[in-house]
């Protein structure tokens, strides 16, 4: 079966009957109006009867500018919405593979205004490369997306398998494209099985330690005591705002006041341990870490080596929105998993 894509032309061998699949939807340069004859049109030919038609369609596709590349509608199978990221589960139109899209949405403007989440293309690309490195075979690329008028659909553009700044356009929303993994691989579910044993904990600790050995040293200045104090101040601010937002008819002032001591304890701890933070920084323990090694982001994937059944730890969804929260001490990175 021949599948035509927007690549350099090739010579087609037509000495026998072949099946040619042309994605006609790619030829329709409309943003919201899509003329899609189902997903594809299949042409059967023998010798060179249909070759002129194939060549016309192919060259038309080849010269369509990337900026006019249409977006196809994808129906949600499932979605997960949190404060900032939105994960949408769909299927590929070409091979029906289960995939998911992760995109950042401005659901909570307070979070963005506070400087906790910073949306920048270079952060997205750097995070994508980090994820691809520590979860090989999972991250397929990035793609332009646009929300559809239908709340259960999203418009998705062409997959960019190896993205860089030159392939991204200003004013366009992009999403990470990932394979959908079996849910039983996720660490929080594996903890109820063999991973929850002493041997399982040794495996987990060894895998995270190996990951940390491969990490690059942090940016200059990141992870210093003053940087840690600044992050603590931001978290205290958000914590205070959360307390003030509690409904007064359910939570009295005395009840809320009982929680204010937490911030004071954290301030004192930060002052006490500042010399240790400085020592860790000077000894090179501040690296570009994952930043969010919680159980739902760690997956145990089976693998084979020389016919032997083994398993490996892969880490998904690293911090890709603010360098201050991923250029951290490796001990801090590990405590998230603990």
pLDDT at 158 over 50: yes
pLDDT above 50 for 29: no
Binning pLDDT at 50, 70 and 90, where does residue 51 land?
Answer: low
- Is a pLDDT exceeding 60 seen at residue 50? no
Q: How many folded domains does the chain comprise? A: 3
160, 180, 200 - which closes a domain: 180
Residue 275 has pLDDT above 80, yes or no: yes
Is residue 140 domain-shared with residue 241, that is, in the same domain?
no
Residue ending a domain, among 66, 92, 112, is 66
**Would you say residue 136 has pLDDT above 80?**
yes
Is the pLDDT at 329 greater than 50, yes or no? Answer: yes
325-326-330-335 Cα dihedral, nearest 10 degrees: 50
> 319 vs 35, 82, 197, 313, CA distance in Å?
38, 15, 29, 18
Q: Same domain, yes or no, for 220 and 95?
A: no
Q: Are residues 107 and 56 in the same domain?
A: no
pLDDT in tens, 238-269: 888 888 787 777 777 777 777 888 888 999 99
Q: How far apart are CA 287 and CA 279, in angstroms?
A: 14
The last residue of one of the domains, among 180, 200, 226, is 180
49 and 134 share a domain? Answer: no
Identify the pLDDT of residue 196: 81
Beta pairing, strands 153-156 & 139-147: antiparallel
Q: Are residues 194 and 331 in the same domain?
A: yes
Same domain, 25 and 159: no
Q: Which domain holds residue 328?
A: 185-337
Portion of the chain with pLDDT greater than 90, in percent? 41
User: Which residue is it, tokens 């006019």?
Assistant: 68
């Amino acid at each position: 079966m021949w599948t035509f894509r927007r690549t350099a032309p090739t010579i087609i061998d037509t000495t026998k009957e072949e099946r040619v699949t042309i994605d006609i939807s790619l030829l329709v340069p409309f943003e919201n109006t899509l003329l899609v004859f189902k997903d594809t049109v299949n042409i059967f030919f023998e010798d060179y009867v249909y070759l002129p038609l194939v060549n016309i369609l192919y060259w038309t596709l080849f010269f369509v500018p990337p900026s006019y590349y249409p977006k196809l509608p994808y129906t949600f199978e499932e979605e997960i919405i949190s404060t900032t990221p939105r994960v949408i589960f769909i299927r590929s139109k070409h091979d029906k593979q289960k995939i998911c899209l992760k995109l950042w949405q401005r659901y909570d403007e307070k979070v963005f205004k506070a400087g906790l989440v910073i949306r920048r293309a270079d952060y997205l690309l750097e995070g994508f490369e980090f994820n691809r490195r520590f979860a090989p075979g999972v991250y397929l690329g990035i793609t332009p997306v646009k929300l559809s008028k239908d709340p259960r659909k999203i418009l998705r553009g062409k997959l960019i398998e190896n993205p860089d700044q030159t392939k991204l356009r200003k004013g366009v929303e992009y999403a990470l494209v990932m394979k959908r993994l079996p849910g039983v691989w996720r660490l929080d579910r594996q903890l109820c099985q063999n991973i929850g044993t002493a041997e399982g904990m040794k495996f987990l600790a060894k895998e995270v330690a190996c990951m940390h050995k491969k990490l690059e040293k942090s940016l200059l200045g990141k992870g210093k005591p003053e940087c840690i104090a600044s992050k603590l101040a931001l978290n205290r601010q958000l914590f205070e705002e959360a307390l003030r937002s509690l409904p007064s008819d359910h939570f009295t002032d005395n009840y809320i006041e009982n929680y204010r001591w937490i911030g004071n304890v954290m301030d004192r701890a930060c002052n006490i341990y500042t010399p240790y933070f400085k020592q860790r920084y000077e000894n090179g323990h501040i690296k570009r870490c994952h930043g969010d090694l919680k159980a739902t982001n760690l997956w145990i994937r089976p693998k084979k080596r020389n016919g032997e059944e083994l398993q490996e730890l892969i880490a998904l969804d690293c911090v890709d929105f603010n360098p201050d929260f991923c250029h951290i001490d490796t001990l801090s990175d590990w405590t998230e998993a603990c």
